[in-house]
Structure 1
Amino acid sequence: MNSSFKQIFPLGEENINYAQYFIGQSYLANLAAIDDNVDVDVSNVTFEPGCHNHWHKHMNGYQILLATAGQGWYQEAGKPAQLLNPGDVVVIHAGVKHWHGATKDSWFSHVAITKGQSEWLEPVASSDYNAL
């Protein structure tokens, strides 16, 4: 991680529980303790350059991404990828197929606020990611 990459939340641990759904290395830090009265997950996700997750959907819920550091990509199926910078917000409704992650040459962090279950799908085609 270079010195110009300034995060406001902890990097967290290597994201080994979800590594099978990522290309490259990511890190995960839970920002809110989950208990019986809280039904959303709030986590800081940090992606090394080139790291991105597979296509996926959030079922019976939603996801909100708050970009906090570096540069990343967000793409919904059938739409062009959008470049994310700190301060950008993405609202993802239930059932929308999408992926997100770092650009090829930048670390990227976002806070993910997620309700419901994720349905993990196929990897993003390398040719599609490399064309960005």
Structure 2
Amino acid sequence: MKKFLSIITMMLTALSFGAVAQQVPIFAKEGEKSPNVHHVGNVWLKELSAPDSVFSYGTAVAIFDPGARLDWHSHPGGQILIFTEGKGYYQEKGKPKQTMKPGDVIKCLPGVEHWHGATAESGVTYIATSPAQKGRTIWLQKVTDAEYGPVKK
């Protein structure tokens, strides 16, 4: 019985430590709050590394409040998304919506129409990298409420 209680205590300690560790985000809501031109909700963008003469790609962190989402768009040179916090969505045109969590990586192929953002219940944070020399993001139509899914009020 004593050994059993010791194991339970260790498990609870590990779980509570994990809960505390999860409350500390890798990136804070710093950077520039993006104007609501190509998205719905609050989104913060912070450039981590700009393209230069050696590295032709840019890297940024995007932080979304719950319910925030980008419009449909594409990237001429593609884009890689590395999800670090929260829970989000990613969907390519004509394919089912995927739920993303920390550790998930998406490779958005060049020219493929897609959208990404937070779930209604959770904000999401990801690191995005894309080749700058291929051109800027091509913004398309808004993601409809039907495409996004139910939103809790």
TM-score surpassing 0.5? Answer: yes
CA contact (8 A) 1:64 1:92 kept: yes
Point out where structure 1 has 5 or more consecutive residues left out of the alignment. Answer: none
Q: Which has the higher contact order (CA 8 A, sep 6+)?
A: 1
Higher gyration radius (CA): 2
Matched, 1:50 2:67: yes
1:93 paired residue number: 109
Residue 34 of structure 1 and its aligned partner are, at CA, apart by 3.0
Correspondence list, 1:116-127, <5 A: 116=134, 117-127=136-146
CA distance in 1, matches of 2:24, 2:126: 12
Matched, 1:38 2:51: no
After TM superposition, the score normalised by the length of structure 1 is 0.88
Matched, 1:25 2:39: no
1:8 paired residue number: 26
Q: Which amino acid aligns with 1:44?
A: V
CA contact (8 A) 1:5 1:70 kept: no
3-state SS in 2 of match to 1:128 = helix
Residue 5 of structure 1 and its aligned partner are, at CA, apart by 4.8
Compared CA separation, residues 46 and 113, structure 1 to 2 (3 A): same
2:92 paired residue number: 76
Q: Which amino acid aligns with 2:71?
A: H
Q: Which amino acid aligns with 1:125?
A: T
1:62 paired residue number: 78
Matched, 1:104 2:123: no
2:148 paired residue number: 129
CA contact (8 A) 1:6 1:69 kept: no
CA contact (8 A) 1:40 1:114 kept: yes
CA contact (8 A) 2:50 2:57 kept: no
RMSD: 1.7
Compared CA separation, residues 10 and 36, structure 1 to 2 (3 A): farther
Q: Hey, which of these two has a bigger chunk of helix by percent?
A: 2
Structure 1 stretches of 4+ moved >2 Å? 3-7, 9-13, 33-38
Q: Hey, which of these two has a bigger chunk of strand by percent?
A: 1
Question: Identity of paired residues, percent?
Answer: 37
CA contact (8 A) 2:57 2:130 kept: yes
